Amino acid sequence: KNQVEQSPQSLIILEGKNCTLQCNYTVSPFSNLRWYKQDTGRGPVSLTIMTFSENTKSNGRYTATLDADTKQSSLHITASQLSDSASYICVVSGSGGGADGLTFGKGTHLIIQP
């Protein structure tokens, strides 16, 4: 069964610190992996999309990595800001690469404290 597991479930860090969120998946065949940021009360917003051949992609202070061999991805946030407080959702797309076979993680709830 295709699964996406995210860790930790929740995380609290001080403003200015770095943090790394993890995503492990068992989706096969693999097409792409996306990270979304979801602010409280709002819809998810895409941060990065990575295909099989990409092992790192950045979006400002967000850097996602992908190891397709071990089926692991991480999202690293550098110099965290209060606005980074949100849930971060990992989504893996299977065969076809599109909406078919999308498997969602339950997210990591990140809180940045001043």
Partner 1 sequence: DAGVIQSPRHEVTEMGQEVTLRCKPISGHDYLFWYRQTMMRGLELLIYFNNNVPIDDSGMPEDRFSAKMPNASFSTLKIQPSEPRDSAVYFCASGDGRGRETQYFGPGTRLLVL
Please tell me the distance from the alpha carbon of residue 2 to that of residue 33, in angstroms, as a whole number: 13
Q: Whose Cβ is closer to partner 1: residue 8's or residue 96's?
A: 96
Here the tokens at position 48 are: 């990065």
Of 105, 108, 110, 112, the residue at the interface with partner 1 (CB under 8 A) is 105
Query: Contact between 98 and partner 1 (CB under 8 A)?
Result: yes
Q: Whose Cβ is closer to partner 1: residue 14's or residue 45's?
A: 45
Q: Whose Cβ is closer to partner 1: residue 15's or residue 38's?
A: 38
| The three-state (H, E, C) secondary structure of 85-96, written as one string | CEEEEEEEECCC
Query: Contact between 97 and partner 1 (CB under 8 A)?
Result: yes
Here the tokens at position 101 are: 């076979």
CB 108 within 8 A of CB 8: yes
Give Cα 66 distance to the centre of its chain: 10
CB 53 within 8 A of CB 67: no
Minimum CB–partner distance for residue 93 and partner 1 (Å): 8
Strand, helix or coil for residue 84? helix
Query: Contact between 42 and partner 1 (CB under 8 A)?
Result: yes
Query: Contact between 24 and partner 1 (CB under 8 A)?
Result: no
Binding site for partner 1 (CB under 8 A): 31-32, 41-46, 49, 89, 91, 93, 96-100, 102, 104-107
